[in-house]
Copies of this chain bind each other. A is one copy, B any other.
Amino acid sequence: MSIDAVDFFYLSMPKVEDIGDGSQDALVVRVSADGVEGWGECEASPLVSIAAFVTPMSHGACKPVRDVVLGKPIESAADIAAIHAAVEMECMDLLQAAHTFSGIEMALWDVLGRKRNAPVYELLGYDKAHPKLPYASQLFGDTPAETLAGCRRAREAGYRAVKCGWGPFGRGTLAEDRDHLQAAREGIGPEGTLLIDAGQIFREDVEAAALRIPLLEEVNTVWFEEPFLGGAYGAYAGLAAKSGKVKLAGGEASHNFHMAQQLIDYGKVGFIQIDCGRIGGIGPAKRAADYAAARGVTYVNHTFTSHLALCASLQPYAGLESHRICEYPFAPKSVAWDMSETHLTPDGDGLVHLPAAPGLGITMNPAGMRKYMVDIEISAHGKALYRSPKL
């Protein structure tokens, strides 16, 4: 088998709002290899990731992703790793390439699994996929009353874990943050798992973030996510030394394995959050999961889009039973729901299971995708470099 075609489908809600909801658009990738089709999804900014696939070469270490991927053999996991390594070298100076390749890489695993009649987690070496406890991810309300109402809704919908983030948190007084935190705890109830996401609001200010630790402890917060800029490992480590029972979480922006490794080694996080649509796909994510597990750090997916992305993001730690929490697109926009026929709906115990089916086990829904398709055309010197394919 070799890679015959890579097609991108840019889907979007008719209107994208200026809110922290990552499910408003999607870049779905289809890879075809000797008649087998696999699917994947790149995280965020579809147009830019498409451009990275087709851009003219700048020099030998800055090629379009297309030139490195098309025609390559795909018979084994080692082949996927070899293509990834080639992208790292030949697209070295093309920053966006990691995001573009991430969706392709997922689709390559899907192809391989379908060909071998095995779920991807088996190809990764896991005997079985353990169920995960989904957390409902939502924004803080504008007022504590809204935060309370949002958390109640999640609890009533059956979620035993809730994450609140962004919004007013860290932007006002400590008293205001405390009110929101207390409201969140009240909303999810005393037994619920509470996770808080600061959305990088403190940039590098360890002291400002540290002032929130007692408030977080008061409501029994399990993790404090992204208090700082993604690369500010020193700030992470500084806060980790003061955060007591509240563990730090971060890593969603990692666009290679090493960034995840460093956030563990230097940033001292307790939870490493990996987005398979950014880190280079499932292979580098699995490496991060192995690295975390060996160091007592808990791996968790970062997924704020579709169930295709969710399914891909759970594979790297499917076999790690004690790494139990997963991010779950709680109330995605219709584009993220309609694109696939398969959905990973929680069972009666509120747990999420991976499909025990070949590849990623997701059946896509072409009719559902067509409703949201954005037709893109890119030309240079009047000649088309790219036109969105038909589905």
Task: Report A's interface with B, CB cutoff 8 A.
Answer: 12, 16-22, 24-25, 43-48, 50-52, 54-63, 85, 88-89, 92-96, 98-99, 199-200, 203, 229-234, 253, 255-256, 258-259, 261-262, 265-266, 278, 374-382, 385
Contacts and interface: CB of A to CB of B under 8 A. Distances in A.
Contacts of A255: 95
B229 A88 contact: yes
Contacts of A94: 44-45, 48
Given A20-B60, A57-B16, A59-B24, A93 B44 contact: yes
B231 A47 contact: no
A interface secondary structure, majority: loop
Contact of A48 (B17, B43, B96, B231): B96
Contacts of A20: 59-61
Nearest to A93: B44
A377 B60 CA distance: 25
A166 to B, nearest CB: 8
Contacts of A380: 47, 374-376
Contacts of A232: 258
Nearest to A235: B258
Contacts of A95: 45, 48, 95-96, 98-99, 255, 278
Contacts of A60: 17-21
Nearest to A90: B18
A389 to B, nearest CB: 15
Contact of A58 (B22, B85, B375): B22
Contacts of A261: 234
Contacts of A377: 377-379, 382
Number of identical protomers: 2
Report which residue of A229, A374, A378 has the largest number of chain B beta carbons within 10 angstroms of its beta carbon: A378
A374 B381 contact: yes
24 contacts: A18-B60, A19-B59, A20-B61, A22-B62, A43-B93, A44-B59, A45-B55, A45-B58, A47-B51, A47-B56, A48-B55, A48-B95, A51-B51, A95-B99, A95-B278, A231-B258, A234-B261, A262-B262, A266-B266, A375-B380, A375-B382, A376-B379, A376-B380, A377-B379
Contacts of A18: 57, 59-60, 63
A380 B372 CA distance: 13
Given A229-B88, A233-B262, A48 B45 contact: no
Nearest to A260: B231
Contacts of A96: 45, 48, 52, 95-96
Nearest to A266: B266
Contacts of A52: 45, 48, 96
B58 A25 contact: yes
A200 B92 contact: yes
A92 B48 contact: no
The list of the 7 closest CB pairs from A to B, nearest first, reads: A231-B258, A51-B51, A96-B96, A47-B55, A44-B93, A48-B51, A44-B58
Given A94-B44, A256-B231, A378 B376 contact: yes
Contacts of A385: 47
B253 A92 contact: yes
Contact of A44 (B43, B62, B229, B374): B62
A302 to B, nearest CB: 11
Contacts of A59: 16-22, 24-25, 44
Nearest to A258: B231
Given A24-B58, A61-B20, A200 B47 contact: no
